[in-house]
Structures are given as C-alpha cells and as structure tokens.
A and B are shown apart, each in its own frame.
Chain A
Amino acid sequence: MTAVSEAVTSSAVRTREATVRRFALTDMVFRTATRLSAILVLVLLGGVAISLIAGSWEALSKFGFSFLTTESWNPVTENFGALAPIYGTIVTSAIAIIIAVPIGIGIAVFLTELCPRPLRRPIGIAVELLAGIPSIIYGIWGLFVFAPFLQTTVQPFIISLFHGIPGLSSLFAGPPYGIGLLTSSLILAIMVLPFITSITKDVFDTVPAVLKESAYGIGCTTWEVTRRVTIPYTRVGIMGGVMLGLGRALGETMAVTFVIGNAHRISASLFAPGTTISATIANEFTEADGELYTSSLVALGLILFIITFIILALARYMLLRIDSRTGA
C-alpha cells in the first residue's frame, strides 16, 4: 500500500521534474532566439558599414582625400570626385528644410491650438498619409506635373523679377528647364513635411497644460503662448524632428532622381540641373562598367551613410532627451 503510493508519488515527481526541465530548456531556446534577433539588428548596421567600406576601398585608396574635393566625374578617363553630388545633396536638403520647417510648425500649431476637435484626427491622418506615399510617386508627379508648371509659369517670372539684381540674378539664372536643384528642393520639402509635422505635434502635446494655462491666465494671446511657452519648452524635440526630416531629405532617392537632371556640375543658379549622391547612384550604378567606377559609386554611398548616420543619431539623441523628461 505505502510502497505503491510512494512509487506513484516518485513517478509524479519525476515527470514534474522532467516537465520543469523541458520548460526551462524551451524557455532558454526562445530567449536565445529573441536575443540573437536583437543582436542581428546591430549586425545589420555593422554589416552595412563594413560592406560599404570594402566596396569603396579601391576608389578611396586611389583618390584618397581628394575624392571629396574633386568636381570632375568622368567615366571615360576614370577620374571621379564627389564634390558635385555632395554639393547637390546638401543644397537641396537645406532648402527643403528651410521651406518645410515653418510650414510644419504652422500645421502643428494649427492642429494643437486652433483646429476644432472633431477635425483634428482626420487632418492629422491626412498629413501622415503624405508620409506614406512612396517616393517614386512624388517623382513621377514632380516630373510630369510639377516641373512643367514651374517651367512655364513660376521660373520665367522669377528670372525676370530678379534680372539685373546682383547676386539674386545669378542665383535664379535661366533658362527655365523646369527640372533642377530648386524643383528637387520643393519636392523634398513636401516629402519631409509630414515627418516634421507629426513629431512637432507630438512634442507640443508634451507641454504641461498648466504652463499654457498660466500664460493664458495673465492675458497672453494664442501666438504669444506658442512663441513664449510652447516652442521654448519643446525646442529640443522640434530640433530632433527637423534633424529626422533632414536625414530623410539627404537620403531621398527616387523623387530627386526624376527631377534633378543628373548633371555632374556645380552651378550658381538654383534653376540649373545638378545631381545628388543618391540620384547619382540610382542613375549610374547598373550601367557602371569597370571596378573603379562601381567602387566610386559605393564610395558615394559610404559618404551618404556617414552623413545620415550622424544626422539621425543627433535627431534620436534630441528626441530621447524629450522622452526622458516627460517620463514616457
């Protein structure tokens, strides 16, 4: 009797122990799998950096530092320099940001302060849908609709407006091609607008209501509250959003490729065709013959990777500071 019950108990203990062991094992397997996946994300970024350095090694060792300062880009003589694409990338992104930031902040103010509550969500979603439209759509729209419009109406007007004024006349010198640096900048501005808007709106929402209410309480207008309370309180977050938009603009490929004109030269006029790093890679990579040509294009990619990495890291750092302050 006792022997039987002991046997039963001990077998129950054994199966229970086995089950616990099996649980521990599967748990460890699952835990390791999740951990390895997390590490894989790091490996991906590391792999990108290593492969770009390896791929661009030939060009970098041949041209050295002068790769960054040479304007010439000649596949026939195999003489490559990155100055024109770097110039185009920085100029188009900078103009895009200058245009998009005030509009983006304006929309954010509208959504947080002025918009009737029932409209808030639909308009917010509509602006975010702009962010979801693939960049090739902006490209085809820019090439067939926007560029001809600029060419026939806006550009001739601006050229005649600034004709004869020193400085401005060379900045806006003709002929009006329609495509070029300024057109690319405008398309980029539309594309980064949703990113800036949604982040600015999010950080505006972190301003404690009591701060704004006390400003209203002493008789401030909506603009004064925005200018003196909301914007100073969220400055770091807005900067983060702007940097994030800048990161997008710098790396944007397809939309720019359609409308920039792909000319490897630096011209003073914003109406002239130019090129950017990503547009050069997209246009020429599959047609590049010869190791040095391909390697030079990968080197361009490496430069873009380094620039965007720094900008995006700064953006995340700034947004992190806002997050930790609100405790979110």
Chain B
Amino acid sequence: MSTAASLHQRRKRKNGVMMALCVIAAGIGLAWLALILGALLYKGLSGVSLSVFTEMTPPPGDAGGLLNAIYGSIVMTIIGIIVGTPIGVLAGTYMAEYGRFSRLTMVVRFINDILLSAPSIIVGLFVYELMVRPMGHFSAIAGAVALSILVIPVVVRTTEDMLNLVPNALREAGTAIGAPRWVVIRSVAYRAALSGIVTGILLAIARISGETAPLLFTALNNQFWSSNLNAPMASLPVTIFQFALSPYEEWQQLAWTGALIITLTVLGLSIFARSLTGRREDR
C-alpha cells in the first residue's frame, strides 16, 4: 500500500516537473519575442524623425535618412509581387482545379514545398548567374526577379490550399448552368477563395520585404537616389546590413531605425493577413 502510494507520489511529482518545464519553454519563446521587439523599439525609436523619410543615405559621419533605401525596397517588392503573383496563382489553380489528381501536381507540390524553404541566398546566386553575369552589371530588375522567385512558392501553396477548400457543389452549380470551366474557376472558385489568396499574397510581401540575401549580389546597393531599374538600387535590408557592420555611429543608428521600420511593416502585414482568414482556424 505504501509503495503504491509512493509510486503515485513519484508519478505526480514527475508530471509536475515536466509540465513546469513545458510552461518554462513557452515562457522562453515569448520572452525572446519580447526581448527582440523591446530592443528594436528602444534602439530604433530614438532615431525616428522626419529626416529618415525625406533624406538620402548619408556619407560616413553625416546625418541623413533612408529615403532612397525605402523607395528601392518598395519598388523591388512591387515588381517582385507583380511578376511572381500571376505565376503563383496560375500554378496553384492548375494544381487545385485542372490537375488535382494528376502526377504533375504531386511533383510540383513536392518541389514547391522545397522551394518554399530553400535558402534565399541560393536564389541570389541563381539570379546572379541568370541575369547579372550576362548583363554585365548589377541591376534593380535582377533584384526584383530574385524576390519574385521567393514570392512564387508562397502564393502557389496558399492558392492551392484555398482553392481546395472551395466546396465542389459550388463548381458543379456553375457547370450545371453551362458555364465553361475557366468561367467557373474565375467567377466561382476565385471569388470563394479570394480572402485566402489575398492572405497568401500579403504573406509573400511580408516575406520578401525583409529579405536581404537575394539582393546582396543582384540589386547590390546604391548610396544615391536612383529610379533606374537597369542600375544598382538601394534597399532597406541591404542598407541595414552595410550600416550595422560599419564603425560609424550615425550609420548604426540608421540601421536600427531601418530595422524597426521593416519589423513593424512585416509584423503588421502578417497580423493583417492572419485576421483575414482568422475565423477559419477557430474550429
């Protein structure tokens, strides 16, 4: 009797210890998030001023802003999204609508999932070999292409998932009134899956707006204002990389401010994207 009771005690104690460790693990996860955001706010906010958004990146030792970097990031992100989204949506459409059970879909899904988590610096090398080397110089358009390659797998994945959630009865109703397949897809399936597909695009924007590695040797960087797509262009992440590793205090401060801008943009986008599809996950 007493051994049974002590065994019970021991099991309860072990359970308590393990569960406490799990709570601590969750605490660690949340604490990291708080620590990183706290440091970003603390160091970044002190550098936020109007001049950050109105002045160019300064030479070493001078005050200045991040205007050309912000502009470059926006331009390359927009081009990347414009190039990548149609391809991603169409590929996702094929996988969910025309070829849902075909062998090609299985292969594409597998490869796409690998592309989704492939190192982005590899994409940078690929675009370097594909565009920068033949053209003979770094260019904003090469950077945008590198970003679009990162957009495609994200959009393919969400488009396919969201179209698969559209009930078949809706498609059958469309077909029953004589609408051809592509009309059913366009005005029934797309419309039903719209918020999910938009979420995918927003997540893709969030992903590429912070990407540094694929831009390092495609768009390079530019100290000055440039809207020429055929020339090197500054971007926020690459500027942060360069400024943070410099010995100049003004540059380091700008790097922190830029980091804060990127983080708030990315977090804002992903929270907004989640809120679009939030109801679905509630269960």
Contacts and interface: CB of A to CB of B under 8 A. Distances in A.
Interface of A: 23-24, 26-27, 30-31, 33-42, 44-45, 47-48, 51-52, 54-55, 102-107, 109-111, 113-115, 121, 123, 125-127, 129-130, 132-141, 143-145, 190, 193-194, 197, 221-224, 226, 244, 247-248, 250-254, 257-258, 278, 281-282, 285-286, 298, 301, 304-305, 308-309, 312-313, 316
A226 B244 CA distance: 44
B80 to A, nearest CB: 14
Contacts, number: 265
B269 to A, nearest CB: 8
Interface in B81-125: 86-88, 90-91, 93-95, 97-99, 104-105, 107-108, 110-115, 117-123, 125
A286 B19 contact: no
Contacts of B14: 221, 223
Given A37-B94, A140-B255, A251-B122, A316 B113 contact: yes
A132 B274 CA distance: 12
A141 B212 CA distance: 15
Contacts of B207: 132
Contacts of B263: 133-134, 137
Interface hub of A27, A36, A37, A130 (most chain B Cβ within 10 A): A37
Contacts of A222: 15, 19
Given A141-B36, A190-B32, A285-B216, A136 B237 contact: yes
A140 B212 CA distance: 12
B25 to A, nearest CB: 3
A223 B97 CA distance: 44
Contacts of A129: 33, 267, 270-271
A258 B181 contact: no
Contacts of A140: 240, 244, 255-256, 259
Nearest to A106: B25
A151 B119 CA distance: 29
Interface stretch (B52-60, B148-156, B192-200): B148-156
B191 interface: no
26 contacts: A34-B98, A37-B93, A38-B94, A41-B91, A45-B114, A48-B123, A51-B125, A103-B25, A104-B25, A105-B25, A123-B26, A123-B30, A133-B266, A136-B259, A138-B36, A139-B244, A140-B240, A144-B43, A221-B14, A222-B19, A253-B213, A258-B245, A278-B119, A281-B125, A304-B121, A313-B114
Given A52-B125, A132-B206, A144-B43, A35 B33 contact: no
A288 to B, nearest CB: 9
Chain A CB count within 10 A is highest, among B105, B117, B210, B241, for B117
Contacts of A113: 19, 22
A298 B164 CA distance: 39
A180 B105 CA distance: 43
A26 B29 contact: no
A24 B183 CA distance: 11
A34 B11 contact: no
Contact of B36 (A38, A44, A133, A305): A133
Nearest to B237: A136
> Lowest 9 A-B CB distances belong to which pairs?
A134-B210, A251-B119, A106-B25, A34-B94, A221-B15, A37-B90, A37-B91, A51-B129, A30-B182
